[in-house]
Amino acid sequence: MSTVIQPTKEQIINQIKKCGKDPIYFLKAFGKISHPDRGTINFDLYPFQEKCIQSFKDNRYNVVLKARQIGLSWSVAGYIVWLMNFHKDKTILSVATKEKTAANIVRKVKKIYKSLPEWLKLSTISSDNTTGMELTNGSWVRASSTSGDVGVSESLSLLVIDEAALVANLDDLWTGLAPTLTVGGSCVVISTPRGSQGFYWRTYTEAEQGLNNFVPIKI
Q: What is the pLDDT of residues 138-155, one digit of tens each?
A: 999 999 887 655 655 678
Q: Are 14 and 5 in contact (CB under 8 A)?
A: no
Residues with pLDDT less than 50, the chain: 1-2
The confidence score (pLDDT) of residue 1 equals 45
Check: CB of residue 110 under 8 Å from CB of residue 61. Answer: no
Torsion of CA 74, 158, 166, 169, to 10 degrees: 170
The pLDDT, as a whole number, for residue 68 is 82
Give 139's DSSP letter: -
What pTM does this model have?
0.94
Distance separating alpha carbons of residues 148 and 145, to the nearest angstrom: 8
What is the model's pLDDT at position 96? 86
CA distance 47 to 69: 16
The secondary element (H helix, E strand) that includes residue 40 is strand 39-42
Count other Cβ atoms within 10 Å, centred on residue 6.
10
pLDDT of residue 148: 52
Q: What pLDDT is recorded for position 179?
A: 87
